[in-house]
Each structure stands twice: as structure tokens, then as C-alpha cells.
Amino acid sequence: MVDPPRSPAAALPVPARLPAVHLDDDAVSVTAPDRRGLLAAVAGCLSLHRLDVVTADTLTVDGVARMVCAVQPRYGGEVDREAIVSDLRRAVTGDLPLAERLAARDRSARRSASAPPRVVWQPSTAATDATVLELRATDTPGLLFRVASALEDVGADVRSARISTLGGAVVDAFYLAGSWDADARARIEAAVLQAATSA
């Protein structure tokens, strides 16, 4: 039996005015109306500001998504806190052209040789009505954005996610609503692996 982990996102208050963004030294919290692609938007915006997502917890209740991301600057040094908060607000409302900006930034980036990414499926359970897709891959800039976008593109509803970065590798678990047959899993897996190998 696979249950979603308890999430610190559940402790976030829901303010009257959304979206709400808060940035600490090593964590970012976002509370916003839920929409498809929200996780991708937050991950993409953080990547745009060269913040690595070390862990992420997400939860959606009554149409309101809450996320807590532990982050660290990719290259160390100071971060522009006001710019990050401003861009996150624009990203969660869909007003920031993330894909274009990330593509322009990463066009010349080259991936180092590494083991190919792989997907591991966990069975769905009656308790969660979710199927767990686990991605194991080498960490690269914008990886979570690309994978979350790929899941959105194939129509997979991410109910919850547990994102972990261990050195240069990631183990990302996505709890996908519902059950998926073999053909659907193959289609989702192909999209995720393609996203994980794109740079």
C-alpha cells in the first residue's frame, strides 16, 4: 500500500488574496488557485532564477494548491528576492513565458555524460486512488519544469508530489490521480523520459 507522504504544505494558511508567495533563505512557499501546470510553473520559475528544488511538497484542497519547496542557489551567492517573488506571482497566473525564457537561457547548456533516466511505477491503491510514477535521473537545470510540463501535456493530474535531490541525482515521485492501463503508462513514461533527457 502506497500512501502520499504527509506534507508540510498542509500547514500553510490560505490567505484571502491569492496567489501568495513567501521566500525564506532556503524555502519557497506558494498558495494559489489550483490549475493544470501549476507545479511546472513554480519549478520553471525557480529554475529560471537558478534555484534548485531540493525537496517539494504539494497539496491541493478545495481548489487551492499549496506548495513548499526547499531550494538552494545553483551557483551559490545572493538571489534577487524581489524578482523571484514577482516572477513567481506571474508564473502561477500564467503571465510569465517560462518555456521561452528557459529555452533561451539553456540553449547553450550541455549535459554531462550520465546514466539514462528511468521510470518506476508503483501500483495504485484503493486508499489513495492514485498511481505513483517515480523518476530517477541526473539533475539538470529545469528538470522538474520539463517533467511536470510533460505530465500536464499527456493529461496526467498530479495529485501530490515528493521531489528529492540527492547530490547530482533526483528521485521524484508523482502521485497521479486514478489508475492507468499499460498503454497509458507507456505514453506517460515516454513523455517523462523525453522531458528528462531534453536540455
Give the domain CATH number at 94. 3.30.70.260
- Cβ atoms of 150 and 195 closer than 8 Å: yes
Q: What is the pLDDT of residue 78?
A: 74
What's the CA gap between 3 and 21, in Å, rounded? 28
* Local confidence pLDDT in tens for the 199 residues of the chain: 556 556 777 778 888 899 999 998 889 999 999 999 999 999 999 989 989 899 999 989 899 999 999 998 876 667 889 999 999 999 999 999 998 888 876 654 444 446 789 999 986 656 667 889 999 998 888 899 999 999 999 999 998 899 988 777 899 999 998 888 899 999 999 999 999 988 6
Do residue 46 and residue 69 come from a single domain? yes
Tell me the pLDDT tens digit for each residue of 111-135.
Answer: 444 678 999 998 665 666 788 999 9
Note the pLDDT of residue 20.
Answer: 94
96 and 122 share a domain? Answer: no
Q: Give the count of domains, the chain.
A: 2
Q: Which domain holds residue 164?
A: 118-197
In a domain, 161, yes or no: yes
Tell me the one-letter amino acid at 164. S
pTM above 0.75, yes or no: no
List, in order, residues 6 or more apart from 52 with CB less than 8 Å away. Answer: 46, 71, 72, 73, 74, 139, 165
Domain boundary among 40, 73, 106: 106
What does the pLDDT read at residue 5? 56
- pLDDT > 90: percent of the chain: 53
